[in-house]
Amino acid sequence: MKRAAIVALLLSWTTMLLADRIILRDSTEIRAKVIQVTKRGVEYNPGGDKAFDVIPRDQLMKIVYDDGREERFVFDRIRFYDGKVLEGNVVEVDQGSVMFTQKNTAEKTSIPRERIQSISFSDGREIFFQKDGSSATEQEQVQRVPGFHKSIVRIAGVFGFGAPVGAIMDREEDVFQAHLQYLVSTFGLRDYTTSHAFLNYGVDLDLLLPAFEFEQSSVFDFTGIKLGIRGRYIHTMTYSSIYDEHDYGYRYYDSDLFFGRLMTYDLWAVGPVCNFMFSPRSNNFNFMINCYVLYGQTFDATFTAVPTMRDAGVYYERLSYRTKFSAYSIRAGLGPHFVLNRWLPVTIGINATYSMMRMTLNHYLNAYGDVNTASYMHEWGAELSLGLHF
């Protein structure tokens, strides 16, 4: 019995000694017999009841076979001042040259240091050289952080503002023009003008894919495209005002002669989001161009016609001016965003925005003097966002 146990132990040790070494990018080492290497990854015999297992290629650093051969999956990169890039294995760096084995060859090449701009090692380190090889200096960089390139969730608060235009605003303008003489005769001769504005606030939830990353060839470079799906909830309030244009801009709040809320609505929307990412070598932060398109529907939406004229005393309560409405909306945004990666995973940005809404009033409003219940509205504006990514 003891003899059988010793034999089994010796066989186990022999298997371990003769096994191939699979080294992963996180420095994990697996000792097992490699069956084959494919485009998908490496298949190996894990022992036990399982016939084989697979490690994806993007997790592999290298394989050291039991006969001493070595197969690498992540290579060192030498970047030259003329823009050329070589991939392979840096064997040695001395005062005058760099000994280098090019990818898929075993031949060693000596490269003068004065030709080399930088070396990016497979473990994330980088060495930079001055153009004068005789006085070259080396700077070891902090290992690049994954940051927003690898984030899968972003949640942010949103605050927006702007001006609505469209058929519904034209109807408000028609009522204003029809009663302009009343305003003059009642409140005196002024340069009466009407305007509309909206404010909204809400929250965004982005579900993101890992970025499609690009090779970084300069200190600050375009490094990736990140796609995802955005869900948004916002609450919007639209206001109308009549002001004296002569005073407007000098005493903003005093110049609003008549004021009222035109509509309020909540909206759920969903759609694609895209980020074009620019990064320094450390990836401590990202500058991004953010764009999105969302489609959504309103709920709990209320429309109150001619609020400014009612504030001026033109309309009476017996006229119908309030109704619920439903609408479908397409929204888009484009603008710069800034992301922190190393210290705190914060995103902050500003977007120029546009939205189009197709509205259906629950019933017509005789305050407008017609029976039309269908309308539309465009909203041009800007939004600020502040959030976190994980």
* pLDDT tens digits, 251-261: 344 456 888 89
Q: Binning pLDDT at 50, 70 and 90, where does residue 137 land?
A: very low
- In single-letter form, the type of residue at position 47 comes to G
Q: Please check the confidence at residue 314 and state whether its pLDDT lies above 50.
A: yes
Q: Please check the confidence at residue 313 and state whether its pLDDT lies above 90.
A: no
Phi/psi for 186 (5° steps) reads: -90, -40
**DSSP output for 28-64:** -EEEEEEEEE-SSEEEEE--TT---EEEEGGGEEEEE
This prediction's pTM: 0.63
Q: Over the stretch 150-159, which tens digit does the pLDDT of each residue have? A: 899 999 999 9
Q: What's the count of helices (H) and strands (E) in the chain, helices before strands?
A: 4, 21
- Identify the pLDDT of residue 134: 43
Most confidently modeled range among 29-33, 94-98, 303-307:
303-307
Beta strands in 245-373 (DSSP E): 256-280, 285-304, 322-340, 346-361
CA distances from 28 to 24, 75, 224 (A): 5, 17, 28
Within 8 A by CB and 6+ apart from 364, the residues are 320, 370, 371, 372, 373
- Identify the pLDDT of residue 250: 43
Within 8 A by CB and 6+ apart from 368, the residues are 171, 174, 175, 305, 306
Q: Please check the confidence at residue 234 and state whether its pLDDT lies above 50.
A: yes
- Identify the pLDDT of residue 139: 44
Judge whether 303 and 321 are in contact, CB under 8 Å.
no
Please report how many Cα atoms fall inside a 13 Å half-sphere around the Cα of residue 133, on the Cβ side. Answer: 14
Going 169 to 302 to 374 to 309, the CA torsion angle's sign is negative
Q: Over the stretch 342-383, which tens digit does the pLDDT of each residue have? A: 788 999 999 999 999 999 999 888 778 777 888 899 999 999
Q: Please check the confidence at residue 195 and state whether its pLDDT lies above 70.
A: yes
State both tokens at 361: 């009033």
Going 51 to 57 to 60 to 61, the CA torsion angle's sign is positive
Q: Rg for the chain (alpha carbons), in Å?
A: 33
- Identify the pLDDT of residue 3: 56
Q: Binning pLDDT at 50, 70 and 90, where does residue 136 land?
A: very low
Q: Over the stretch 285-305, which tens digit does the pLDDT of each residue have? A: 899 999 999 999 999 999 988
Nearest Cα residue to 204 out of 386, 22, 15: 386
d(CA 251, CA 248): 6
Going 178 to 183 to 184 to 190, the CA torsion angle's sign is negative
Report all structural domains of the chain as residue ranges with CATH numbers, in order of start. 2-66 (2.30.30.100), 75-135 (2.30.30.100), 147-389 (no CATH)
d(CA 327, CA 374): 10
